[in-house]
Amino acid sequence: MIIVILDRLSKSWIIEHLSLGQSIKVFPFFNIIYTYNRGAAFSFLNEAGGWQAWLFVIIAIGVSIFIIFWLFRLTKKQTLGKLSLALILGGTIGNLYDRIMYKHVIDFLDFYISSWHYPVFNVADSAICIGAIILIIELIWKRKTL
């Protein structure tokens, strides 16, 4: 729930204080910019015409249900697994909310070096990536200990 709340608060602030496309320079390598993405990660299918929004809604619901069942199967000792899945679930729900309410995901974190910009992302995307990294590390570590 913490991720969903942080994601909603940050996106609400962006919507209320910036106009679409407006950018605020924060550091020499970081801007806050109000943009959105109709596609998936790295704007995959961003220009597909609108049908992809519902595809990603269905995928997000399916992934969320799968993660919830997986969470219930973990033991109390599997705290890293629970943390990683909770981060992924929170991020998925945060972006799912956007897709249902706006038909796109609100993005605003813009990191760059010189003229090269990493794809703009949001709090939910960050949680999904961090959760996935933790999950991969735990799965690799678990394999080595078997």
pLDDT for residue 96 is more than 90:
yes
The pLDDT tens digits for 50-72 are 666 778 889 999 999 999 999 99
Domain ranges of the chain: 2-145
Backbone angles phi, psi at 39, to 5 degrees: -100, -155
What pLDDT band is residue 146 in, cutting at 50, 70 and 90? very low
pTM of this structure:
0.87
Residues identified as active-site? 107, 125
Count other Cβ atoms within 10 Å, centred on residue 29: 12
Q: Angle at which helices 51-73 and 79-102 pack, to 10 degrees?
A: 160
What pLDDT band is residue 41 in, cutting at 50, 70 and 90? low
Count other Cβ atoms within 10 Å, centred on residue 101: 9
* Distant-in-sequence, close-in-space partners of 63: CB < 8 Å, separation ≥ 6: 88, 92
Predicted local distance difference test score (pLDDT) of residue 72 = 93
